[in-house]
Structure 1
Amino acid sequence: MNMISKLFAPKTAITAATIRAEIERAESEIIAHNAQLEGVLAGIAVMNDSQHAQAEADAAAIKRAVMRLEARANHLAAELPNVIAAEEAAAKVAADEALRQRAEAARKANTKEAAKLLAEYALHAARVSKVIAKLEALDIETTAVNAALRSNPVAESVAGYNAIHRRNADRPAGERRAVRKCWVYRYPGSPRDTDKVKFQYEAPHEVVRQADIGPDGKAIPVPAVQHDYHGRVLTIIPTLEDREVVIERVSFRPGQSEAPLSSVRLPPAFSGEDHIWPRE
């Protein structure tokens, strides 16, 4: 690690990430130097002696720089696995210590804090059980009253608290309407009867179809239709009009009731104690 520390500026944190970045920088500089080397020697055919000597000196300097960079990159690449292993080992030590601390905290919480919470639960559960007992008694009384009213209807039947307070309202069926562009096909009614010809009655009527809208915001054209009109074929050409149409239908949905309180189970807080609810 002493050698590798000399490859970085003082106080630089030497990590796997910084080593990888330094290797990439060295490789990038090697590519740049090799390109520079080609340029230095490119015009050697037309150089004079002094120019040639200078080119060779420049080329030698570039080659030495490349050698240093390659040595730097190779040394860093050789050290990288060791640094990665050290970081992984340090991370495992930190993770192990964090887990030990969590285990100790959980142990203390289950031993001390949980006892306080269970005592608090027992107190509140006892109060809840009293409320449920009163509601259960009210339920029994309501059932008895309604049974008596069926044989002696001196008053309306009594709705229970579940129906009053613990059931959502029904969702009625309905529809939502809005004005939209529509294609309207108008069909004529049957001709009037004559002394010689009787027609099956057909009232004039129209068919309305909501138009599809294109990307340009305009209604997409639709073709005309052929209509057999008492032996004659008529071409019905639709017209584009603003009409009120149904755009959404909602079906009926009965209201949902909450789970009955009779399903509540309140076990004892501590081992050996009585069941809090239902009472045994």
Structure 2
Amino acid sequence: MILERFFTSKTTAITAEMIRADITRCEGEISAHHDQMAGVMANIATMTDSDHVTAEAKIAATKRAIARLDARVGHLAAELPKVVAAEQASAKIAADELLRQRAEAARKANTKEAAKLLSEYEKLAGPMADIFARLAEIRTETDVVNAQLSKNKVAETVSSFETIHRKTPDRLASERRETRLCYVYRYPASPRDTETVKYVQIPASEEVREATIGRDGNPLPVGAVHYDQFGRNIIIHPKLEDREIVVERKPAKRGLYEESLDEIRLPPAFAGGEQHWPRK
């Protein structure tokens, strides 16, 4: 087979990918040969007779190389569809065999393994139903007791097992504080009353604002504020100080209950069997 003569390896099967790669290589060499011929004849006007003979010999050799490459590409292109078809057929055979094996495994799993699992489920479902029944009794008794305690408070209300065991803890509101560089604005208290003027007495206060730190590591400057104190315009210049401030707050969050056990159903394992839970 001529295709086997193009590829020297005897251990590797000839694939469509190998053929496509060889076609690409040959086409690249053909293009390079055409460029080479154009370069050889570029200076024909100034060639001597000897140079011209040499150039034509090179061109002739190059044309023969191109002809061989063209022939190789032709053979490869003709064989490529056959190889592709063979690969697709082989792939389909392998895929079909794999599907047959999976079908057989699934058939055995449904026929034998599932029967064992359902039998095991049948054994476990009874005790599980007993557990659910007892939990239902506990819930009912708790509701009755709490209803009576609401009228006769002789003891604390009873927490349900859902709250005790099946609810995540409530999260209290919290805050995280850190010492940061801040601008502090100090506002003066109201002036003292005089014989003619009585002031609303407002105590001295301060406002703390966290400073913004620039790229150079220094706090960015801020301006003064105007404070109107009973008609007097007072300019308040802030001062930089280290202050402990709140940097993060987390709100309170109620704990979450797990999904209710009331939603659980335990049907029979096999056709015609008794439902395990809820019990009829």
Scaled to the shorter chain, the TM-score interval is: 0.7 to 0.9
Cα shift at 1:213: 4.0
Q: Paired residue for 2:252?
A: 252
After TM superposition, list the pairs within 5 Å mapping 1:50-89 onto structure 2: 50-89=50-89
- How many Å separate the matches in 1 of 2:46 and 2:102? 77
Cα shift at 1:218: 4.3
After TM superposition, list the pairs within 5 Å mapping 1:192-203 onto structure 2: 192-203=192-203
- Report the residue type matching 2:138 in the other structure: L
Deviations 1:215-263 (A, max 9, x none): 5554444444344454454444434433322222222222222233233
Q: Paired residue for 2:168?
A: 168
Give the gaps of 5 or more residues in structure 1.
none
The verdict on how the C-alpha distance between 1:265 and 1:227 changes in structure 2, with shifts beyond 3 A counting, is same
- How many Å separate the matches in 2 of 1:224 and 1:77? 84
Cα shift at 1:125: 0.9
Q: Paired residue for 1:139?
A: 139
The verdict on how the C-alpha distance between 1:30 and 1:238 changes in structure 2, with shifts beyond 3 A counting, is farther
Question: Does residue 57 of structure 2 align to residue 32 of structure 1?
Answer: no
DSSP 3-state at the match of 1:42: coil
Question: Does residue 276 of structure 2 align to residue 276 of structure 1?
Answer: yes
| Paired-residue identity, % | 55
DSSP 3-state at the match of 2:175: strand
Q: Paired residue for 1:22?
A: 22
Q: Paired residue for 1:5?
A: 4
- Report the residue type matching 1:8 in the other structure: F
Question: Does residue 58 of structure 2 align to residue 45 of structure 1?
Answer: no
DSSP 3-state at the match of 1:247: strand
- How many Å separate the matches in 1 of 2:5 and 2:146? 95
- How many Å separate the matches in 2 of 1:17 and 1:219? 65
Cα shift at 1:202: 4.0
Question: Does residue 261 of structure 2 align to residue 261 of structure 1?
Answer: yes
- How many Å separate the matches in 2 of 1:201 and 1:70? 105
Cα shift at 1:137: 2.3
Question: Does residue 106 of structure 2 align to residue 106 of structure 1?
Answer: yes
Cα shift at 1:154: 4.4
- Report the residue type matching 1:188 in the other structure: P
The verdict on how the C-alpha distance between 1:147 and 1:230 changes in structure 2, with shifts beyond 3 A counting, is closer
- Report the residue type matching 1:175 in the other structure: E
Scaled by the length of structure 1, the TM-score of the pair is 0.85
The verdict on how the C-alpha distance between 1:56 and 1:125 changes in structure 2, with shifts beyond 3 A counting, is same
- How many Å separate the matches in 2 of 1:8 and 1:261? 70
Give the gaps of 5 or more residues in structure 2.
none
Larger deviation: 174-183 or 259-268? 174-183
The verdict on how the C-alpha distance between 1:200 and 1:263 changes in structure 2, with shifts beyond 3 A counting, is same
- Report the residue type matching 1:21 in the other structure: A
- How many Å separate the matches in 2 of 1:89 and 1:230? 97
Q: Paired residue for 2:130?
A: 130
- How many Å separate the matches in 2 of 1:120 and 1:137? 27
- How many Å separate the matches in 2 of 1:41 and 1:215? 66
Scaled by the length of structure 2, the TM-score of the pair is 0.85
Deviations 1:64-85 (A, max 9, x none): 2223223323433343344333
Larger deviation: 248-257 or 264-273? 248-257
- How many Å separate the matches in 2 of 1:258 and 1:185? 50
Cα shift at 1:29: 2.0
Cα shift at 1:148: 4.8
